[in-house]
Structure formats: C-alpha cells, structure tokens
Amino acid sequence: MQIIIVNNTKNKSSLWRLFYLKISKIWIIRIGIHLYQILTMKISVVCGSRARDLTLLLKFLKMLDLQTFKDFDVNIVCDRNFTEKEELDFFSFFEKQNLEIIKHTSFFTNNNSEFNPNHRWWASYVRNFGIKKAKGEFIQLFDDDNEVDSKFLEKCLKKREELTEKTKSECVILPSLYYRDTGQIQNQWFSYFNYRQSRPVLHLLNWKRKAQIQMFSWNWIFSKSSTIGKAKYDEKIARISEDLDYTLSLHEQWIQLRVFSDLKVSHHERDKTRLEQARIWSYSQAKQKSRNRFLFTKKHWNKKQLFQFYICWLPGCILRLSTKAILFWGKDRFKIIKWLLAGVKEWYKLIHKK
C-alpha cells in the first residue's frame, strides 16, 4: 500500500493569514471607535434661543461653564434672522468673554448653516435642527432661560446608567421644573391623556423621589442620542403640545420616561397672564390651540378614544377655555371664544378632508 503524505503548510499559513486579518479588523474597528469617543464629547447640550437677549444667553453659558462634568459641547440654534453685521456683533460679544465653554460652543445661524429663519414650525423645527447637529453620545435639551446646579449633567448621566442597568431597557431622564427660584413646581408630569377632556392628567410626585410617566410638557430631557432620535418633534404642533406629543411618541415605543424630584431646573420665564398661560391670548394662538387638540388626538387615538374626544371635547375643552376668556380678558373676551370655535371648524374640515 502506498502512503501519500500531503503538505498542509500552505493551507495552515492561509488559515493563519485569514485569522490575522479578522483579528486586525476587529482591533482597527475598536481603535476607530475609541478615537471617535476621544474626539467627540460624551454629551451634547442642545438649546434653542431667540438670540436677542445676549445677557440671558451669557448667563446660560456661565451656568454650563460651572458644571463639574466637563465632557460635553453646546449647540445653540439661533432662532432669528441675522444680518451680516448683527451676526458679526453677536459673535464678537461672545469671543470677548473669558469662558472655557465658549471653545466648545457652536452657534448655528441662518448665515453659517442651513437653518431657515422664516420657518413657521415654532419650537419643533428649532429642536429638530439642534438634535440633528448634535454629535455627542447623549443629548441634553435646554432653553436659554434655564438654571441648574453645577452637578446637573453629572447626576443625569449617573441616574441614566443606574436605571438602564437595573431595568435593562432604554430610558429618558426628566427633571423637576420650578418657576424661577420660588420653589413652586410647574405642572409638567402627566400620567396619561384624557380624551374626554382633551387634556393630559397631571401626575403628582408627592413624597416619591421618582416616578414613571407617559408625557412631559417641557423639553428638558436627557437620554442617548439614538433614543432621542427615535421620535421627532412634530412641526405641525406647537404651544407645549409638541412636547406632549414627542414624549408620548417615545412612550408608545416602550421607552421609559422617568422623572426625578432631586433633578431641579429653575425656569426663569417672563411674567404671563392667565390667557397667555392657556395659550389663547391672540387669534393665532386660539386657533392653534384648537389645531393642537385635533392633530394630537388624531395621531394617538384609538376608536374608543375618538368617540370620547368628539362627544365630550366641545363641552369640556371649549367651555373651559371660554370661561377663562370671560373671567380674565377685557372687551375682546367674546372675540377669543369666536376664534376658538373658528379654529375647531377649520381644523375639523382640514383633518377629515378626503
């Protein structure tokens, strides 16, 4: 019997070469990811601003400059139409400030980006634009009239890590919102949407340190960029309703919304009348209020909720808003009621148009 000896040296060397190439690719990818993490910030702070009150914006940046967590950048979307001279004066003002955070701040204007200053999509367009420009692994949304303590970002990151480790699911971290420095909590946590009254149901934290909710009426949220990108602010909806719609859209994708009582944001907004707070103080706002109700409800309702909305909404929502107009407005009170009804008629026809 003849024994044939096969030389496997070549085959073995080919296998080792393939193994080496695979290992090399893995390490190249890992090194690339590591370099990307070094070159990009951990958190991107996104803030929409009218960019007219430079003192207010400077105060906001000084607050961020004091954060103990330093691995973050700032993206400020300037929601105004700059002339070249105005933009030059704007940038010159901040270049003169001796702040480290300025080096990590990007100002997006109509001249240096594709931002459209003539948009008609309210805050939703500004926030979507800022989120799209953010490069960080995490995103924190702010307004320029906010104030937080120096450990705010550090605490948000820690709470998010603890919660995801415990629940093994993605989450959004929400703060407690206070009116200026008064200690008065503004209504922002909601358990669910009541279609009979066409309004969200307030969730009270009481003694609890944290709670899980379905909707949040402001835009101060913290989460991974990939999580925040799972929904968009609806640019057809405005006047706080876009925040309710956005957070409810996240909830409907099984993303947890967790609010914490020890995460505090002071909201230094201007003084507003009762009708301004109800968003019905002008023709456009009263009509938009009606529009928001129809658009929001149509987007999230089921058949039962649709029935509740149409049977109960007119006597509930319109009567409530009309009562506010009668009690807190002057000679134009009946005009506001007329505007509300005009908005209902217009948006009912538009939404149910075949």
pLDDT in tens, 50-108: 999 999 999 999 999 999 999 999 999 999 999 999 999 999 999 999 899 999 999 99
Is 79 found in the same domain as 153?
Answer: yes
Is 185 found in the same domain as 133?
Answer: yes
More confident residue, 145 or 332: 145
Looking at residue 206, its pLDDT comes to 58
The whole-angstrom separation of Cα 71 and Cα 306 is 47
Residue 196 lies in a domain: yes
> How many residues are given for the chain?
354
Give me the number of domains the chain comprises: 2
Q: Which one of 265, 295, 315 terminates a domain? A: 265
Residues 293-332: pLDDT tens digits? 777 877 887 777 777 777 766 566 667 767 766 666 666 6
Domain hosting residue 341, numbered range = 274-351
Is 288 found in the same domain as 173?
Answer: no
More confident residue, 257 or 291: 257
Residues 152-204: pLDDT tens digits? 999 999 999 999 999 889 999 999 888 877 777 776 678 888 776 667 777 76
The residues that bridge with 35 in the sheet, in sequence order, are none
| Least confidently predicted of 12-26, 232-246, 305-319 | 12-26
Q: What is the mean pLDDT of the chain?
A: 80
Is 291 found in the same domain as 249?
Answer: no
Looking at residue 227, its pLDDT comes to 94
pLDDT band at 31 (very low <50, low <70, confident <90, very high): low
